[in-house]
Amino acid sequence: MNKHLGKQTIRFDNPPVIIATSSIVGPREGEGPLATYFDTIIEDELYGENTWEKAESKLIEKALDKVIEKANKTIDDVKYIVSGDLLNQLSASTFGIRNFKIPFLGVYGACSTMAESLSIAAIIVEGGFADYVIACTSSHFCCAEKQFRSPLELGGQRPLTSTWTVTGSGAIFLAESGEGPKITYVTTGKIVDFNIKDAMNMGAVMAPAAADTIINHFIDTERDENYYDLIITGDLGKVGKDLVLEILKQYNYDISSKYMDCGIEIYEPDKQDTHSGGSGCGCGAVTLAGYIFSEIGKGKWKKVLFVATGAMLSQVSLQQGESIPGIAHAVAIEN
Amino acid sequence: MNKHLGKQTIRFDNPPVIIATSSIVGPREGEGPLATYFDTIIEDELYGENTWEKAESKLIEKALDKVIEKANKTIDDVKYIVSGDLLNQLSASTFGIRNFKIPFLGVYGACSTMAESLSIAAIIVEGGFADYVIACTSSHFCCAEKQFRSPLELGGQRPLTSTWTVTGSGAIFLAESGEGPKITYVTTGKIVDFNIKDAMNMGAVMAPAAADTIINHFIDTERDENYYDLIITGDLGKVGKDLVLEILKQYNYDISSKYMDCGIEIYEPDKQDTHSGGSGCGCGAVTLAGYIFSEIGKGKWKKVLFVATGAMLSQVSLQQGESIPGIAHAVAIEN
C-alpha cells in the first residue's frame, strides 16, 4: 500500500518510460503555432474517408502505426492498447484499433481521456502486468460539433467562451524500461460539479476539477508549484485557465509563472477564430505527444505535470436539465 | 513480466478478494428466476425519478451504497471506483457516483464492461496501488432501447434473435485481502469483427469474441474446460450461446456441460417475452453480483470463468453501414 499516497495519488517506484509518442492532426491544427511538432498533418477533415467518424478512426489507426514504428517495435510487442474518444460508444477507438488484434481497454473521461488512458497504462506497466502498453486518444472537430452541439451546416454563432475541438490523435508508447521521460505519479480525479449548465463554456465547467486535482496532487505528493517546470492543463482555454489560477490562489498556490494550457498553445485564437482555445481529448493528446514530449527531450522542461480535464456531459443529460460534471486526471512526467 | 501469460492474460500472484457484492434490478428482473439473489428490486423503471436516465444513475448510486455497507467499509475506505455503462458519455456512472467524491476511472466495453471494470480494479489492487476498489456497471432497458434502437412508444416488433436489456446495476468490492472468492486471472479481449451488421442479433455479433477470449484464456493459462466448474458468458442469449459452443467445438473444446449465459439465466424467455434472453452491462453485473457470487459462497461452484461480452456499435456507426465489432473480457474467480 505504500504506492498509494494520500487520497488520490499513486507513486511509481519503477516509473514507466515514455519511449515514443506520435501525433496526427487536422488542417487547422497544422496551421497553428505547434505545427512543426506534429508527425502528420492531414489535408482535410475527411482524410480520404466518406464520413468524419471514419476519418477519426483513421487518425487513431495512423497514430498507433506511427508510435509503434517510432518505438522500433512491432504490433506483437504491444500487450494492451488503452484508448478512448468522445464519440458515442468510443467508436473512433473501436474501429481505429480493430485491425491491430491487441487486447483493448476502452476508457472514457471526456477530454481528460489522455491522462486516464496514460494512468491506466502506467499502472499496468509498473505493476509488472505488461512490458509495452500504448495509451491513445482522439477527437475530431466535425464529429464533436455534430454529436454534442449542432450540425456544422447550421453555421451558428459560437460565444467567446466556447472552445474549438481539436482534430487529432495522440499515442504514447509506455515501456517498463528504456530511454525517455518517466511517469512518476498519477493523481486520479473525482467528479467535481459546480452546477454549471452552459455547454458553451467548458472552461468554467472543468476549471474547478482541474484545480481540485492539482491541489490534491500537491497535498498527496507533498510537492507544490515550485517543484514543477511546467503545469499544463488539457483544454481549459482562456476562460478556464484564468479560473484555475483564481481558485488555486484561494488555496495559496500561485502556479501562474509555470502554467500553460494545451488549448491555448495549439491555436492562435485571434487569427484562427477559435475563441477561448482548443478542446477535445485530441487537444491534450497531440500537445503532449508532440510539443511537450519534444521539448522535454530538448531539455526545456524536466518536471511536467500534465492535467487533462473532462466535461462529462451528454446531449441527453443537458436536455434533461442536468448540470455538467467535470473531472481532471494528473500525470507527472519527469526526465 | 511473469505476471503476463501468453498473449492476453494476467496471472495474479496475490489474487484480489471479492469481499462483497451488491445488485439492484428492475421489476422484470425481479420477476425472473434469479429474483431471490438480488439485494433490491425496484418497483418501476423510473425508480422515483422523472427520467429513465436519472433512474439508471440512481441504480448505480444505490448499488455503490449497498456494496460499501455489505463490505463493512465507509466511503473513505474506497480508493477508486471503476465504472461504466451503455449511456452516451457514461452518464449513468458519472451522475451515479458524483456524490461519492472518490477517484473515478470511467471505462467502456459495451456489455463487457463489468469484466473490464473488474479487470482494471483487480490490476490496481494486485499491483499494490490501492487496498479497496469498487468495480461497477449498469444498464436500463428503457434508456438502451431509446438510445440504440427506437422509441419505446413506437411499440415495434422485436425479432426472436433480439435480447432484452437488463435494468440493473451490480457492484463488486475488491480488497487486497479478506474473506471471499479471489480473482486469479484476467484475459483481456481484442476486437473481433465478423462483419455482422444486424443490431437485433447481438448474440451473433458477440459470440465470436467470446469464443476467441475463452480459447486464448485456455491457451494462455494452459487450462481447458475441465478445469472450471462454470464458464458463464455475460449476455449472449440463446442465439449466441449456441454459436459459442459451435465455434469452440471447431477448436476441439466442448464446454457444453458447464456452460451458462447470464442472459439466459436471468429471465424465463417464454413467459417473460424476452426472446433470445437478457443483455446489457447490467445483465452480467447483477448475475455475477447476485447469483454467481452467492452460489460460490454456498459451495456450488469453486472455479468460475466469467466472460462478459460487448457489441461495440453506435447509432452512427450502424447508420454509416459499419459492421458491429465484438469484444469479450474474461475473469477467473476461484474459491
The CATH code that applies to domain B182-334 is 3.40.47.40
- Residue limits of CATH 3.40.47.40 in chain A: 4-175, 182-334
Residue A274 falls in which region: left (phi positive, over 0), alpha (psi -120 to 50) or beta: alpha
Helix and strand tally (H, E) in chain B? Answer: 11, 15
d(CA A192, CA A110): 14
Measured between CB atoms, does B84 come within 8 Å of chain A? yes
Considering only CB atoms, A312 lies closest to which of B89, B189, B313, namely B89
ipTM of the complex: 0.98
How many other C-beta atoms lie within 10 A of the C-beta of residue A46? 14
End-to-end CA, chain A: 25
Residues of chain A positioned with their CB less than 8 A from the CB of B107: 105-108
**A 105-144 near B (Cβ less than 8 A):** 105-110, 116, 119-120, 123-124, 126-131
Residues 6+ positions from A88 with CB-CB distance below 8 Å? A147, B88, B89, B314, B315, B316
Q: What is the pLDDT of residue B175?
A: 98
Helix (H) or strand (E) holding A186: strand A182-187
Phi, psi of B230 (to 5 degrees): -150, 130
Contact B104, A191 (CB under 8 A): yes
B56 touching A (Cβ < 8 Å) = no
Q: Do B1 and A176 touch (CB under 8 A)?
A: yes
Task: Report whether pLDDT(A1) > 70.
Answer: no
pLDDT digits (tens, 9 = 90+) for A249-271: 999 999 999 999 999 999 997 89
Candidates B14, B80, B88, partner chain A, best to mutate (most A CBs within 10 A)? B88
**pLDDT tens, chain B, 335 aa long:** 479 999 999 999 999 999 999 999 999 999 999 999 999 999 999 999 999 999 999 999 999 999 999 999 999 999 999 999 999 999 999 999 999 999 999 999 999 999 999 999 999 999 999 999 999 999 999 999 999 998 999 988 999 999 999 999 999 999 999 999 999 999 999 999 999 999 999 999 999 999 999 999 999 999 999 999 999 999 999 999 999 999 999 999 999 999 999 999 999 978 999 999 999 999 999 999 999 999 999 999 999 999 999 999 999 999 999 999 999 999 999 99
pLDDT in tens, A147-173: 999 899 998 899 999 999 999 999 999
Tell me the C-alpha to C-alpha distance, in Å, between residue B195 and each of A107, B188, B303.
Answer: 24, 21, 34
Residue A184 backbone phi and psi in degrees, to 5:
-100, -35
Instruction: Report pLDDT for B269.
Output: 78
Query: With a CB-CB cutoff of 8 Å, which residues 172-211 of chain A face chain B?
Result: 176, 188-191, 193
CATH for A4-175 is: 3.40.47.40
Q: Is B8 exposed, middle or buried (0-12, 13-18, 19+ CB in 10 A)?
A: buried
Task: Read off the pLDDT band of A35 (50, 70, 90).
Answer: very high
A323 touches chain B (CB under 8 A): no
Provide the 10 A C-beta neighbour count for residue B321.
Answer: 10
Cβ B108–A104 below 8 Å, yes or no?
no
Contact B80/A at CB under 8 A? yes
CB–CB contact A191 B105 (8 Å): no
The verdict on A88 touching B (C-beta cutoff 8 Å) is yes
> What pLDDT, on a 0 to 100 scale, did the predictor assign at position B256?
98
Q: Average pLDDT for residues A113-121, to the nearest whole number?
A: 98
pLDDT confidence of residue B270: 82
Q: Which residues of A287-321 are buried (b: 16+ CB within 10 A; e: fewer)?
A: bbbbbbbbebeeeebebbbbbbbbbbbbebbbeee
